[in-house]
Amino acid sequence: MGMFYTQQPAKKRLDDKRSISMSFVHNQGWHCEFLDEDLKGSLRKKLTFAFSDKIIETFERWGSKSNIGLNILEHAISNGRGGIWLTLQKINIRN
């Protein structure tokens, strides 16, 4: 049994939600770093996307739309850096 934060379907969902920040910068690819809600603790996972479309897709799936609109996100992408808040659902996966 493992605990994961995701939006994927699962057999049993828990009520826990977690907000994290994803910052991104363009430098021979889109480098993404994740921070805890307090913006102090860096999460181990780092991603690099070839295209900015993946950042937009991430925002559309998990983004906190109350803090930023798609137009603002596209402006940040055109500037080569920015960040978004993501809301993830904690689920319990049973085999």
The pairs formed by 25-32 with CB atoms below 8 angstroms and a separation of 24 or more are 25/80, 25/81, 26/52, 26/77, 26/80, 26/81, 30/54, 30/55
Predicted TM-score of the model (pTM): 0.72
**Residues 20-65 pLDDT 10s:** 899 999 999 999 999 988 888 788 889 999 999 999 999 988 887 6
- Averaged pLDDT score across all residues of the chain: 81
Q: Where are the domains of the chain?
A: 2-25+51-93
Residue 39: CB partners within 8 Å, gap ≥ 6? 21
